Structure 1
Amino acid sequence: MDDTEAFDHIQNLGSDAPDLNLFVQRLITAQLDDPSLVLSHRNLLLEYGDCISPAEQGLLLLHALGGNDIPLDLLKCAKIPMRRWTNEGEIQSITASDFGFNAELIGLLSSDERLAELGQRPEVMQQALEDGTIIWSLSPESQKDLSHRLTPQTTEDWATTALRLLCFACPPCYEGKVNWALPLKKAIWNLLDKATNQKRLPSSLRACVIEALLFFCERDLFAIRLAAVERAKSLLRKNMSFYYQASVTLFESIISRIDGNFQRSEALIADFLAADHEGNTRSDNALRGRLHISNIENKIHRYDQGVASTIYNWEGIHPLSTFEIEVTRRLQGVAAKFFHSIGDFKTTRASLEQHLWLNSTMPIRPNTRLLIVTRLAEIHCELHEYEKALEIIQVELDGMTARKGRPFRRLSMARAEGYIGLGRLDDATTVLQELISVEPPELDDLNDQVLRVRRLILSARIHHEDNNFPEALQHWQLTGQMIDSLSIFKSRHGWTLAIVHLSMAHAHIALGNEDLARQTWNAGVEIAMRERFEYVFPVLATTWLHKIVGEIHEVKGWPLRVMLPGGKSDLTWL
Structure 2
Amino acid sequence: MTFISYHGAFAVFPDLQPQAGIVSFNTPPVFGIQNRDPESRPVKQGLVKYQRASSKWRNSALEAASQSLFDESSTRSEDASVLLVFLSFFSPCEKIPLELFTRGSTPRKRWTIEGEIELVDATNVGLVPWLVDILADDQRLTRAFRELCQLAAVLKYPDETYHLNEDMSARVHRSLAPDALPFWRQQTLIVAYRAIPWKYIEFPEPVVKSFLPHLHHVAEAFHDCFDELPTATRTDFMLTLIEAFRFPDMAWKYFAIGQAELAAGRLKDTHLRLCIGQTKAVLGRLSGNMDEATESLQDFISNDPAAAVNKRIRCEVGVAIIQRSLNSIQVADLSTAQKLLEDWNPHGDVPSPLEEVLSFRKHSLLGRVMRLQGNFDESLRLLGIAHEMSQKPSQLVFDEDLRDLTCDLADALRELDEPMTGEDYLRTEIIRRTERPDPLTGKSLLELALSEALFAQERYEEAEKICVDIESRASLLKYERLRVYVILAKLSHIRSDFEVALSRWSEAMQALQEFSLVDGQVHTIISASMADVLDAQGHNWLTRESPRRASLNELAKPEGVPHWIAGFRQWADYLQSRGRHDL
Tell me which interval the TM-score lies in, with the shorter structure as reference length. 0.7 to 0.9
Matched, 1:157 2:148: no
* 1:287 aligned partner: 316
CA distance in 1, matches of 2:209, 2:338: 41
Q: Tell me by how many angstroms 1:203 deviates.
A: 2.4
Secondary structure of the residue aligned to 1:175 is coil
* 1:122 aligned partner: 152
Matched, 1:221 2:257: no
* 1:508 aligned partner: 534
| Residue from 217, 221, 229 that aligns with 1:203 | 229
Q: Alpha carbons of 1:179 and 1:278: their partners in 2 closer, same or farther (altered >3 Å)?
A: farther
Matching residue's letter, 1:210: M
* 1:424 aligned partner: 459
* 2:578 aligned partner: 551
Matched, 1:83 2:114: no
* 1:3 aligned partner: none
CA distance in 2, matches of 1:313, 1:455: 36
Mean alpha-carbon deviation: is it higher for 257-266 or for 162-171? 257-266
| Residue from 249, 261, 267 that aligns with 2:295 | 267
User: Could you list the runs of 5+ residues in structure 1 that have no partner in the other structure?
Assistant: 1-24, 42-50, 555-559, 561-572
Mean alpha-carbon deviation: is it higher for 186-195 or for 283-292? 186-195
Matched, 1:148 2:187: no
Does the CA contact (< 8 Å) of 1:480 and 1:500 recur in 2?
yes
Secondary structure of the residue aligned to 2:245 is helix
Q: Aligned runs of 1:299-448 on 2, under 5 Å? A: 299-301=328-330, 302-303=332-333, 305-318=335-348, 319-361=350-392, 363=394, 365-400=398-433, 401=435, 405-406=441-442, 408-436=443-471, 439=473, 441=475, 448=477
Matched, 1:95 2:121: yes
| Residue from 509, 525, 528 that aligns with 1:480 | 509
Q: Tell me by how many angstroms 1:412 deviates.
A: 1.4
1:104-132: CA deviation from partner (whole Å, max 9, x where unpaired): 4233322333333334441223457xxx5
* 2:286 aligned partner: 258
CA distance in 2, matches of 1:163, 1:496: 49
Q: Tell me by how many angstroms 1:211 deviates.
A: 1.9
Matching residue's letter, 2:96: P
What RMSD in Å do the two structures reach over aligned CA positions? 3.4
CA distance in 2, matches of 1:36, 1:62: 14
Q: Alpha carbons of 1:345 and 1:251: their partners in 2 closer, same or farther (altered >3 Å)?
A: same
Mean alpha-carbon deviation: is it higher for 257-266 or for 286-295? 257-266
Mean alpha-carbon deviation: is it higher for 388-397 or for 501-510? 388-397
Mean alpha-carbon deviation: is it higher for 332-341 or for 266-275? 266-275
Q: Alpha carbons of 1:528 and 1:226: their partners in 2 closer, same or farther (altered >3 Å)?
A: farther
Q: Tell me by how many angstroms 1:549 deviates.
A: 5.4
1:452-507: CA deviation from partner (whole Å, max 9, x where unpaired): 221222122221122211111222233334444x3xx3445776454433322221
Matched, 1:539 2:567: yes
Secondary structure of the residue aligned to 2:118 is strand
Matching residue's letter, 2:228: P
CA distance in 1, matches of 2:265, 2:200: 21
Matching residue's letter, 1:544: W
* 1:460 aligned partner: 489
CA distance in 2, matches of 1:384, 1:105: 59
CA distance in 2, matches of 1:379, 1:251: 29
Matching residue's letter, 1:538: A
* 1:564 aligned partner: none
Matching residue's letter, 2:452: E
How many percent of aligned residue pairs carry the same amino acid? 17
Q: Tell me by how many angstroms 1:344 deviates.
A: 1.0
| Residue from 195, 198, 210 that aligns with 1:184 | 210
Secondary structure of the residue aligned to 2:127 is coil
Q: Tell me by how many angstroms 1:307 deviates.
A: 4.6
CA distance in 2, matches of 1:224, 1:36: 35
Does the CA contact (< 8 Å) of 1:108 and 1:115 recur in 2?
no
Greater RCO (Cα-Cα under 8 Å, separation 6 or more): 2
CA distance in 1, matches of 2:122, 2:335: 51
Does the CA contact (< 8 Å) of 1:71 and 1:187 recur in 2?
no
Does the CA contact (< 8 Å) of 2:451 and 2:466 recur in 1?
yes
Matching residue's letter, 1:383: L
Q: Tell me by how many angstroms 1:82 deviates.
A: 1.7
CA distance in 2, matches of 1:351, 1:337: 9
Secondary structure of the residue aligned to 2:343 is coil
CA distance in 1, matches of 2:525, 2:543: 13
Q: Alpha carbons of 1:531 and 1:153: their partners in 2 closer, same or farther (altered >3 Å)?
A: farther
CA distance in 1, matches of 2:455, 2:408: 17
Does the CA contact (< 8 Å) of 2:123 and 2:129 recur in 1?
yes
Q: Tell me by how many angstroms 1:553 deviates.
A: 2.8
Mean alpha-carbon deviation: is it higher for 98-107 or for 410-419? 98-107
* 2:326 aligned partner: 297
TM-score by length of 2: 0.77
Does the CA contact (< 8 Å) of 2:96 and 2:163 recur in 1?
no
Secondary structure of the residue aligned to 1:423 is coil
Secondary structure of the residue aligned to 2:299 is helix
CA distance in 1, matches of 2:399, 2:164: 38
Matched, 1:529 2:565: no
CA distance in 2, matches of 1:454, 1:245: 38
CA distance in 2, matches of 1:433, 1:92: 46
Q: Alpha carbons of 1:239 and 1:199: their partners in 2 closer, same or farther (altered >3 Å)?
A: closer
Secondary structure of the residue aligned to 1:56 is helix
Q: Tell me by how many angstroms 1:274 deviates.
A: 6.2
| Residue from 156, 163, 168 that aligns with 2:194 | 168
CA distance in 1, matches of 2:520, 2:175: 60
Matching residue's letter, 2:426: I
CA distance in 1, matches of 2:344, 2:111: 20
Q: Tell me by how many angstroms 1:342 deviates.
A: 1.2
Q: Alpha carbons of 1:116 and 1:384: their partners in 2 closer, same or farther (altered >3 Å)?
A: same
Matching residue's letter, 1:57: V
CA distance in 1, matches of 2:547, 2:202: 47
CA distance in 1, matches of 2:386, 2:69: 69
Secondary structure of the residue aligned to 2:578 is helix
CA distance in 2, matches of 1:501, 1:379: 24
Matching residue's letter, 1:286: C
Does the CA contact (< 8 Å) of 2:482 and 2:511 recur in 1?
yes
Does the CA contact (< 8 Å) of 1:173 and 1:214 recur in 2?
no
Q: Tell me by how many angstroms 1:375 deviates.
A: 1.3
